Structure 1
Amino acid sequence: MAMQPHSKKRVCYYYDSDIGNYYYGQGHPMKPHRIRMTHNLLLNYGLYRKMEIYRPHKATADEMTKFHSDDYIRFLRSIRPDNMSEYNKQMQRFNVGEDCPVFDGLYEFCQLSAGGSVAAAVKLNKQASEICINWGGGLHHAKKSEASGFCYVNDIVLGILELLKYHQRVLYIDIDVHHGDGVEEAFYTTDRVMTVSFHKYGEYFPGTGDLRDIGAGKGKYYAVNIPLRDGMDDESYESIFVPIISKVMETFQPSAVVLQCGADSLTGDRLGCFNLTVRGHGRCVELVKRFGLPFLLVGGGG
């Protein structure tokens, strides 16, 4: 698949000013406030002039149950800090509690995160944009009926399901320091989505993403895992990322790409153990962009 020369791309950016108000609780490493800080950088650098900015709709229960189970979404909609004691059994069943706490506005937070990724996918499907961004998304650990790793609703899976309405093959790439387990699991048995995850592996959350996990059934060889050691720097990362992604593009030939840009692979992250710089992380994004395919970028950890 040929690289595209630099041409002017229409960029759409999804952001809701409420997203920074949600608070997972004292000492919790997941801080939605960072999405607001990122937005302020975008304003102060003048980057907003180069894109269309949209406020996403709140994803409906109907939209979220395209992937998640009805009873799980019903639970997320019902639970609040003041009625938690009534839901002890369900909290255990749906893995809500410590890593994934109940906080004020939890359901609305999920709606905004998912709404941005679904709206971005619709925009790409309509060919009304070439690049769509939802930094409030990227919650790649959420499962069909279970919260996991600070993630409740898997906006990425919902976005990919939307893209699959118009695209025969969608490529998912994950450069968060953690394995993109929820997305891989959702598409493990299909050949229409290839999932490629670069992540720290061994005694590390979520514990999945072994090199030998390659998909199953029709999806065999359509899950690609690149387990990495601590301390990966820009040069080492790029020497792995460039040939793998180039080969994946050539063999899979997707017609749309989703990139999870988790920033916890950057140096200094309190949970990650990689040594990527912002420039090295950005070069991964740039490489994927150069293929010139409809491109959905989401956030993630860090």
Structure 2
Amino acid sequence: MESGENSLPSGSDGVKRKVSYFYDPEVGNYYYGLGHAMKPHRIRMTHALLAHYGLLQHMQVLKPSPAKDRDLCKFHADDYVDFLRGITPDAQQDQLRQLKRFNIGEDCPVFDGLYSFCQTYAGGSVGGAVKLNHGVCDIAINWAGGLHHAKKCEASGFCYVNDIVLAILELLKVHERVLYVDIDIHHGDGVEEAFYATDRVMTVSFHKFGDYFPGTGDIRDIGYGKGKYYSLNVPLDDGIDDESYMSLFKPIMGKVMEVFRPGAVVLQCGADSLSGDRLGCFNLSIKGHAECVKYMRSFNVPLLLLGGGGYTIRNVARCWCYETGIALGMELEDKMPQHEYYEYFGPDYTLHVAPSNMENKNFRDLLDDIRSKLLDNLSKLQHAPSVPFQERPPDTELHQVVLRDEDEDDKDERWGPDSDTEFDDYSNPVPGRVKREYIEVDRNDSGSYHNHLDRGRDFDMPFKENASSKGSGSNGSG
């Protein structure tokens, strides 16, 4: 296993990790609109749970520096970034052609502070990659990130800027190979497309496949050119449970780690694959979902944890709080502490929720066939690819504000006297205490992604020639 300068402790000391956690106290103020399924307030609810479970004192808590235009343009087209920066709710009626061109509409609406929102969540993911590159932490977390559908020139599936691609590009400055793993219920199409023709990034997506957004992610979609066999898709059906999911996840990811030997791993932890999600149809428990985090953590490779989908927001907060504990090597009590959003978690007021009795349509023979095909694809990779020596692009400098709770212990004590972490000198640090605030209650009415077939657009590859247009390989649109 490639370890490099970011090697992590193993053996009996393997439980200990330095964790950098990115959070902007303003992120919960952004609002997609009345009735929209995506609610950034879930990030604030997650943070409140982390604070009251006492997890913040065990992490380096950072406010991300907003991503600048030039940062976003490392992947996205200049004119698309210019449009996002300039569009406002009041001005959108005058730009109908541009709205259509960039796929801004019902799924991806214009709302107050849209560009600042994009800068914030992208800044957290790129900032996490920078921290990992510098060896400051072993695991970086940005629950506001993970918006995997955004394309180079358009928004898609509630996603405007693809923070994951930007973070991977940052990691590639230091690491020869980066692994991307996606456990959101929706296919990670934007990330797959961006790296479809390179062997330096392997993408693995576990997702619902069929008549479901975005309609891509067929098991036959394996990459193109030098990227052939470096895209893995695990198509699943309704009702998959913990046992069935793990029967695929662990053998496939174990083989990926053995063959690909990544220098860093990015894990998108979309919580819409949980049982009872407003837009989902899987039946995973929080512990089952978190087992993916625990398993990838066990390889002792620098790890970036990102959010993603998740539309029953009380369960999203539960899940990402528990998975933060997994990152820290801490088991959390099921009984939930009193906090600002305690009433959301009734009537049980527990961290975990039981999966339902929905039918699991993923039959054993189907799972065995999927596993066999993907392991066979992996067997065709003879060795981990490498890149010739070349001048490394300059490191990205992102300055973060260190957040501090009123009752938090001294941050330096958490890192020790030998910490090499550099903090910006702010005379008035941003408080980390979550404010009590009224928001729209999450309703039980079902929402859905609107149907948008993947258009198979070419992307300017940072290391390889452009991929030719690829079909969706889908039997239905999402």
TM-score normalised according to structure 2 size: 0.63
Secondary structure at the counterpart of residue 39 of structure 2: coil
Letter in 2 for 1:224: L
The within-5 A match list for 1:248-267 is 248-267=256-275
Report the equivalent of 1:151.
159
1:39-118 → structure 2 map (5 Å cutoff): 39-118=47-126
2-structure distance, mates of 1:84, 1:162: 33
Q: Kindly provide the CA deviation profile for residues 4-42 of structure 1, in whole angstroms up to 9, marking residues without a partner as x.
A: 432411000000000000000011000000000000000
Q: Provide the C-alpha distance between the structure 1 equivalents of 2:237 and 2:10, rounded to a whole number of angstroms.
A: 32
Residues 52 and 188 of structure 1: is their aligned pair in 2 closer, same or farther, counting only changes over 3 Å?
same
Alpha-carbon distance in structure 2 between the residues aligned to 1:256 and 1:101: 34
Which residues of 2 match residues 172-211 of structure 1 at below 5 A? 172-211=180-219
Letter in 2 for 1:240: L
Q: Which 5+ residue runs of structure 1 have no aligned equivalent? A: none
Letter aligned with residue 126 of structure 2:
V
How far apart in 1 are the matches of 2:47 and 2:149? 24
| Aligned counterpart, 2:225 | 217
Structure showing the higher helix proportion among its residues: 1
> 2: distance between equivalents of 1:150 and 1:255?
30
SS at structure 1 position matched to 2:234: strand
- Structure 1 residues 70-92: Cα deviation after superposition (integer angstroms, max 9, x where no partner): 00000000000000011100100
Per the TM alignment, residue 151 of structure 1 is displaced from its structure 2 partner at its CA by 0.1
For 1:228 and 1:85, how far apart are their aligned partners in 2? Answer: 40
How far is the alpha carbon of 1:287 from its aligned partner?
Answer: 0.1
SS at match of 1:26: coil
2:245 alignment partner in structure 1? 237
Amino acid in structure 2 at the alignment position of 1:42:
L
Q: Distance in 2 between matches of 1:143 and 1:285?
A: 26
Which of 102, 115, 122 does residue 130 from structure 2 map onto?
122
CA distance in 2, matches of 1:240, 1:96: 36
**How many residues in Structure 1 have an aligned counterpart in Structure 2?**
302
Q: Distance in 1 between matches of 2:192 and 2:272?
A: 19
Question: Structure 1, residues 41-85: CA drift from partner, whole Å, max 9, x if none?
Answer: 000100111110000001000000000000000000000000001
- Counterpart of 1:273 in structure 2 is 281
Residue 140 of structure 1, aligned match among 145, 148, 151: 148
Does residue 13 of structure 1 match 2:10? no
Percent of pairs with identical residues: 67
Unmatched 5+ stretches in structure 2: 3-8, 311-478
Aligned counterpart, 1:161 = 169
Q: Distance in 1 between matches of 2:15 and 2:293?
A: 16
Q: Distance in 1 between matches of 2:222 and 2:10?
A: 29
Which residue is equivalent to 2:41? 33
Structural RMSD (CA): 1.0
1:299 aligns with 2:300: no
Q: Distance in 1 between matches of 2:220 and 2:78?
A: 33
Q: 2: CA distance between counterparts of 1:256 and 1:96?
A: 33
1:145-203 deviation line (CA, Å, top 9, x unaligned): 00000000000000000000000000000000000000000000000000000000000
Please tell me the residue identity of whatever aligns with 1:149: G
Higher relative contact order (CA 8 A, sep 6+): 2
CA distance in 1 between partners of 2:258 and 2:173 (Å): 22
Which of the pair has more CA radius of gyration?
2
Q: Secondary structure at the match of 2:160?
A: coil
CA distance in 2, matches of 1:280, 1:73: 38
Q: Runs of 4 or more off by more than 2 Å in structure 1?
A: 1-7
